[in-house]
Structure 1
Amino acid sequence: MTMTGEDRTAAHAGPWWWVRRRSAALDVSLAVVSAAECGAEGVPFARDAGIPVVVGILFGVLAGSVLLLRRKWPIAVVLVAIAITPAQMGFLMGVVGLYTLSAAELPRRIIVALAGMSMVGTMIVTFLRVRQDMARGDLTLGDWFEPFASITTSLGLTAPPVLLGLYVGARRRLMESLRERADSLERELQLLAERAEERAEWARGEERTRIARDMHDVVAHRVSLMVVHAAALQAVARKDPEKAVRNAALVGDMGRQALTELREMLGVLRSGEGVARDPDPVPLAAVGVAAAAAASRAAAEDGVGEGPCLSELDELIGQSAAAGMVVDLSVEGEGRSYGQEIERTAYRVVQEALTNVHKHAAGAKTYVRLAHRRSEIAMQVENEPPPEPSSASGARLPSGGNGLLGMRERVVALGGVFVSGPTDAGGFRVSAVIPAVVAAV
């Protein structure tokens, strides 16, 4: 599992100012070695300075122990190393201090200034010591050796730790930047995954709503007509056998039409089963979107589930007329072809409006008006009050069921306007206007 920067800091918290315990152990070890080195070098320093040896040793141990603070105060460590350079002690502390100073996030001018001071101090001390050795006769080289030895020694003790510290500091900052970037990408991926899941859930909800609307349109209209014809068949079965036969044939035809439309819808749904049963560990969000996409592709390629169109409007009205409803159809403007979704929606609005008349105002005369305009198509279904008062009472109230809600959702989804409600005469009116060209969302 990937950890953020805060998690890593909390997981490796060390004592005091150290981030990790192993860093504290390393600094303590370096401080002990530096203190031992400075303590040993304090013996000749005490003899040369004419002070007690114990004092020189204590001074060296105290100065060398300052290396313990190299991560907290690297500038102080380098300054102490420069200060004790004339006493010819603290070489380890100077090297480690310069490395720590260069690796720290400090301004370059401070690093250059302190590195230059350390190099100059080492150069002077080395030059004086070589000259003293040559004066005592310990060295018999030429005069060129003094500057050569002082320059090479100062560069050897200063340049490598500074360059290494600069490299390590730059690499550390790069790794920290990459780590922060990885944490940021991980958070973004989590947000994207959550949004994808939300979009998939929304898509599944929209698909469920669409399927519910289609099922309602198919079942409610066909079954309502079948119930009307069945009632008529029961009424005329003994009086008029020929009419009863015709009504029975109509009931059979409507039942077969309803089954055909239901099979088409189920075929579209089954086209997405292969995606849902894929054994690969695909995320749930991707499965939902892929299933919806597969179903849409199958419907588009096979022509399954295209639904009815305006050319079938005469047949729809004929079925209602055969059920005993008096329907008056009027068409304004020159008919033309529209998009599949527009024609299906217009057909479903008229179909559901007629279904509501069958349910709530049986026997009422109904007017269906269709208007082809330049940039839109308008439809209106209005029925008069039913002949029986019991039915009229139901027609005076606007329906709050799934039928009107489904019609409104279909029309609004295409950018149209839907209005429904009772008329002053006691009937009911359903009106819808749909743009001829649906704008892409």
Structure 2
Amino acid sequence: MTEQWKRSAADHPHAVHVVTTSLLLAFTVGGVFLTRTVAAQESLVLWPGLALSAVACAVLLRRHSHPLVVLLVTTACIMAEGFIGYLMTPLLMGPMLVAQYTVSLRPDRRTTWYSAVAAAAGIALTGFIATDSPHEWILGLVNPTAWVLTAAFFGSYVRVRREYAVARAEHATQEREEETRRRVIQERMRIARELHDVVAHHLALANAQAGTAAHLARTRPDQAIAMIEKLPEVTASALRELKAAVGLLRQDTDSQELAPAPVLEQLPQLVETCASVGLDVLVTREGQPRPLPPGLDLTAYRIVQEALTNITKHAVTLSARVRLAYTPHDLTLTITNEAGTHPAAAADWAGPSRGYGLLGMRERALSAGGTFHAGPQPGGGFEVACTLPLPSSEKSTS
């Protein structure tokens, strides 16, 4: 019901002003009769008070477009009623208090308080002249002045609250925009990592297979033909993963048409693909293997894939060891290339400005809340090691 009333009031603002002004006129007229009754003065003329109250309430319809003029007119009407002999009660001063409240809502604070002081001074002067005995000054002088200042304070308080609400809304909008921008950047970086890992891995394997086949074409044509026959498998796998990665950017892509994200269970296929280009990979597992969340499983697979791709592109000794160590709290991945890595390869691995392989692996590990380290070994070779936190047993079972 409250929301319905708010919508109706927003749709018919003029009708709301008319109704509220009519109600205020009724209270003000009541104040005129109450003052005449309390004062017990039969000689007090009634119609000037009613006329002045009607004028004061009527001009309130323009209080939003001309607030200072309306305040001036209502103050003059109330002062005239005071000089006639009416007691300036809150009921009688209602139009003036509403006008003062409206002026106090304006952003110009200096105008607000200048107008409040001027109105209070006018009411105080009226009360001082119209009050005969000093003991009546509280009702005729202090009380009306206090009501005027109270309306000014209340209007200023409402204005400050509205300004604060607007500032909070603007701040919240800026925060939402910043959060949206940050998420877009993170999503772009994630997709860029996916595309880099897919393209770099499969193109490196395809390039190695093509180069090896060209080298063996004259001396061992059978092996060259067998290696060339495996090229469609590598390119088909690359196309499937590219379709899955690019499909994330298309809203109209059917999720059933996309290939599932690779996981650690597909390491044998990855090792077999690496073996087709002559890279001998030994995979060892320690501890009790556990099912991983999809995102963490993909992160672990991509790190192993990128490390093996770098070995394929840069290493002289085409052999690698992949170690998966499971503990109750984390999974440690260690990919090691034996001694014999070309010095330029170590520089390419260690220099983030030369490529995005190490940078992508580091970003994946850190985004999962883990640690990452890569560098040459003291005895030769290169090692990539990262630790990925695993969800607790209670969370995984729940």
- TM-score for both structures, normalised by structure 2: 0.64
* AA of the residue aligned to 2:126: V
Query: 5 Å matches for 1:14-413?
Result: 20-24=68-72, 70-72=119-121, 74-83=123-132, 100-101=144-145, 103-105=147-149, 169=151, 177-271=157-251, 302=256, 304=258, 306-386=260-340, 391-395=342-346, 398-400=350-352, 401-413=355-367
RMSD: 3.7
Asked if the contact 1:330–1:370 (Cα under 8 Å) also holds between the matched residues in 2, the reply is: yes
Q: Secondary structure of 2:291's match? A: coil
Q: State the shift of 1:96 in Å.
A: 9.6
Alpha carbons 2:281, 2:319 under 8 Å: kept? yes
Deviation at 1:432, TM superposition (A): 1.1
Structure 1 residue 429: Cα displacement: 0.5
Task: Structure 1: give runs of 5+ residues left out of the alignment.
Answer: 1-11, 39-67, 86-94, 107-168, 274-294
Q: Give me the whole-angstrom Cα distance separating, in 2, the residues matched to 1:249 and 1:327.
A: 22
Distance 1:193 1:70 in 2: 40
Counterpart Cα distance in 2 of 1:247 and 1:311: 25
What displacement does 1:32 show?
8.9
SS at match of 1:20: helix
Q: Matches of 1:69 and 1:212 in 2, distance apart?
A: 68
Output the CA distance in 2 between the equivalents of 1:222 and 1:262. 10
Kindly provide the amino acid, as one letter, of the partner of residue 391 in structure 2.
V
1:372-391 Cα shifts (integer Å, max 9, x gaps): 2232221111112337xxx3
Please state how far the C-alpha of 1:28 moved relative to its aligned partner.
6.4
- Cross-structure match for 1:151: none
* Whole-Å separation in 2 of the counterparts to 1:98 and 1:331: 89
1:417-428 → structure 2 map (5 Å cutoff):
417-428=371-382
Contact 2:131–2:140 (CA under 8 A) maintained in structure 1: no
Cα shift readout 1:218-256 (whole Å, capped 9, x = no counterpart): 000000010000101111223323212221122211111
How far has the Cα of 1:21 moved from its partner?
4.2
From the CA coordinates, give the structure whose radius of gyration is larger. 1
SS of corresponding position for 2:303: helix
Shift of 1:200: 0.2
> Percent identity at matched positions?
28
- Structure 2 CA distance for aligned equivalents of residues 23 and 329 of structure 1: 87
Q: Comparing 226-235 with 406-415, which one deviates more in the overlay?
A: 406-415
Residue in structure 2 matched with residue 277 of structure 1 by the alignment: none
Q: What is the distance in 2 between the residues matched to 1:84 and 1:375?
A: 88
Structure 1, residues 252-304: CA drift from partner, whole Å, max 9, x if none? 11111111111112222212x6xxxxxxxxxxxxxxxxxxxxx9xx86xx594
Counterpart Cα distance in 1 of 2:228 and 2:373: 36
Which amino acid in structure 1 is aligned with residue 308 of structure 2? Answer: L
Q: Give the TM-score normalised by structure 1.
A: 0.58
Q: Distance in 1 between matches of 2:82 and 2:294?
A: 87
Within 2, Cα distance between the matches of 1:371 and 1:99?
Answer: 83
Unaligned residue ranges in structure 2 (runs of 5+): 1-63, 86-116
Task: Verify the 8 A CA contact 1:70 1:100 in the aligned structure 2.
Answer: no
- CA displacement 1:6-52 (0-9 Å, x = unmatched): xxxxxx9x9xxxx82453466568879999x89xxxxxxxxxxxxxx
Q: Cα offset for 1:418? A: 1.0
Q: What is the aligned partner in structure 1 of residue 20 from structure 2?
A: none
